[in-house]
């Protein structure tokens, strides 16, 4: 059994825990509100803006026997450039203040997730960063495109408010296949253990980000005749 398959199997329960978070289940059922979506985009901005710096830090910290990963890291950097600006554009299309998001601070859960990523690279095994890649890109493929359709139909927002979810979900279909090929080449048991450990941690940390978002009060608001 190759390592990518092992990674999927060993983190299956952690992934299920993320998908069971109420706001994710609600979004997939069309239970959405504009404040919840803007809050999601806000937290997404505050971790996505670190993607390129984290990739660069990971590459710089890789031991010499992993130089074969340099090309893949450079490709990731090139493809991830500017995704944070997509999110700010989506926030503007929702009628919210993108500049206040740019200059604001993330929620506690997002700050902890980003800090854990930097700490994994600097203090632990830098390959553990691929645990974060597994969580964020795998989740995007599973949720982004479907969630975007439900959120848009529920809120009546323009297509321009979904460039991050739709483009990111489509790109990550390609990234996930590439990621699987990379993981199949990870053979050292310590490297494998570091990636699994980090992935399990990131599933929990990312779930905390979603738990920190305001739940849409769709039913109660409708009952009171107030738009959700």
We report the CATH number of the domain holding residue 179 as 1.20.910.10
Q: Mention every residue, 6+ apart, whose C-beta is less than 8 A from residue 64.
A: none
98 half-sphere exposure, CB direction, 13 A CA radius: 14
Question: With 90 as the cut, is the pLDDT of residue 146 above it?
Answer: no
Is 69 inside any structural domain?
yes
Is 83 inside any structural domain?
yes
Is 168 inside any structural domain?
yes
d(C-alpha 101, C-alpha 114), whole Å: 17
Angle between helices 12-19 and 3-10 (to 10 degrees): 50
Summarize pLDDT for 190-200 with one digit per residue, the tens: 999 999 999 99
Its pTM surpasses 0.85 = yes
CB 15 within 8 A of CB 203: yes
In terms of Cβ atoms closer than 10 Å to its own Cβ (0-12, 13-18, 19+), residue 171 is middle
d(C-alpha 45, C-alpha 213), whole Å: 14
Is 12 inside any structural domain?
yes
In terms of Cβ atoms closer than 10 Å to its own Cβ (0-12, 13-18, 19+), residue 85 is middle
Is 221 inside any structural domain?
no
Is 219 inside any structural domain?
no
**Beta strand segments in the chain, E:** none
Residue carrying structure tokens 């959405």: 32
Domain housing 148: 3-214
Mean pLDDT of 69-91: 93
Q: How many domains does the chain have?
A: 1
Q: Mention every residue, 6+ apart, whose C-beta is less than 8 A from residue 151.
A: 27, 32, 37, 157, 162, 165
Most trustworthy range by pLDDT among 121-130, 140-149, 171-180, 211-220:
121-130
Is 223 inside any structural domain?
no
Is 184 inside any structural domain?
yes
């Amino acid at each position: 059994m190759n390592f990518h398959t092992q990674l999927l199997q060993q983190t299956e329960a952690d992934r299920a825990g993320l998908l069971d978070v109420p706001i994710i289940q609600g979004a997939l059922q069309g239970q959405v509100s504009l404040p919840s979506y803007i809050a999601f985009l806000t937290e997404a901005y505050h971790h996505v803006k670190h993607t390129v710096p984290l990739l660069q830090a990971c590459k710089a910290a890789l031991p010499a026997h992993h130089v074969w990963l340099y090309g893949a890291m450079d490709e990731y950097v090139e493809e991830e450039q500017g995704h944070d600006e997509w999110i700010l554009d989506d926030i503007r299309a929702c009628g919210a203040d993108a500049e206040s998001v740019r200059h604001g601070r993330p929620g506690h859960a997002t700050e902890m997730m980003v800090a854990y990523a930097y700490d994994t690279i600097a203090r632990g095994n830098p390959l553990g960063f691929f645990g974060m890649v597994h969580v964020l890109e795998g989740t995007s493929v599973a949720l982004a495109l479907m969630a975007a359709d439900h959120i848009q139909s529920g809120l009546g927002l323009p297509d321009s408010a979904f460039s991050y979810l739709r483009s990111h979900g489509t790109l990550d279909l390609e990234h996930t296949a590439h990621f699987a090929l990379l993981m199949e080449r990870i053979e050292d048991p310590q490297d494998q253990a570091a990636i699994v450990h980090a992935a399990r941690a990131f599933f929990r940390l990312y779930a905390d980000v979603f738990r920190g978002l305001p739940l849409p009060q769709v039913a109660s608001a409708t009952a009171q005749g107030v738009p959700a």
